[in-house]
Amino acid sequence: MLERDRELSQVPKRFFAALVENPVTALLVAINFAMFGVLLVTDGPNDTTNLYRWGAKFGPAIQNGDWFRLFTPIVLHAGWMHLAANTFALVIFGPRLEHDFGWHAFLATYLVSGVCGVAASYLVSPALSVGASGAIFGIVGAYGIYLLRNRKEFGVSVNPVLTNLAIVLVINIIFGLLIPGIDQGAHVGGLIAGVAIGWVLSPGRVVTIEDDFFLFGAPLVKTRFQRASMLKVVLCASLGLVVATAITWWVSNAIDYDPATMAIYGFYELTTR
């Protein structure tokens, strides 16, 4: 019991250490909290009009040119529990990707997964939505692919981790189907984007063999994990944004919203001017 209490007392320290050692993760957490503070000092994070004012995804608004709403929902959260859940997941998985992938590949994975999640949400529903869940699902998917691609190098110890990741994702998707109000489109879209980006950008094991005749001709075998180059990160991120743009363009030109949805849009526009 004492040992368990001691471990629980170390959790806040581990969270703080993870943020100190991984500045991009810390920056993303800080931005989410800062924007939550903005919501608090205006009309609150539970007010849909206020969420719309600060950039929530809403189908008719994007259709009428507010394409910035592909990005802004990622930093908005509708309540303390929403913020806490996403922050917890970000601090658990963010440092792992930032350390192993490098900060640039991690940031690209997070942002592109988030944007693709919003685009997927826009594809399946016009409803107002916010949250970093698409980005979170993306980094979880990228981390899973990284472990899967290198499972021979990591050994059998990685199998339970992959199983646990799969269980967590399945449970979240099931809850998304059963509980109304959860943006399942963003979750699935972000996960697909993260898996695709992770496949391209995840570090791979590189083996080099050097001959050293001073050591009686015995070969020197060196092993390391090589991160993706900056050029590869930029190209991959650009392709992901192109996909999100294509989805958004298609929806904007193919969908006609019903009068009730357009009436809500008119109300939001009128009250947020």
* pLDDT of res. 209: 59
Q: What is the mean pLDDT of the chain?
A: 86
Which band of pLDDT confidence, cut at 50, 70 and 90, is reported for residue 26?
A: very high
Query: Which domains does the chain possess?
Result: 2-271 (1.20.1540.10)
Two tokens, residue 253: 């030109």
Residue 2 pLDDT more than 60?
Answer: no
Which band of pLDDT confidence, cut at 50, 70 and 90, is reported for residue 143?
A: very high
Residue 210 C-beta-side C-alpha neighbours within 13 Å: 6
- Tell me the longest C-alpha to C-alpha distance in the chain: 82
Catalytically active residues, by annotation: 133, 187
207 - beta bridge partners? 223
198 contact partners, CB below 8 Å, separation of at least 6: 109, 141, 142, 143, 144, 145, 146
Cα separation, 36 vs 187, in Å, equals 21
DSSP state of 229: P
* pLDDT of res. 153: 79
* Weakest mean pLDDT among 5-14, 20-29, 135-144, 162-171: 5-14
Residue 40 pLDDT more than 60?
Answer: yes
Residue 227 pLDDT more than 60?
Answer: yes
Which band of pLDDT confidence, cut at 50, 70 and 90, is reported for residue 176?
A: low
* Weakest mean pLDDT among 28-32, 65-69, 151-155, 247-251: 151-155
Which band of pLDDT confidence, cut at 50, 70 and 90, is reported for residue 252?
A: very high
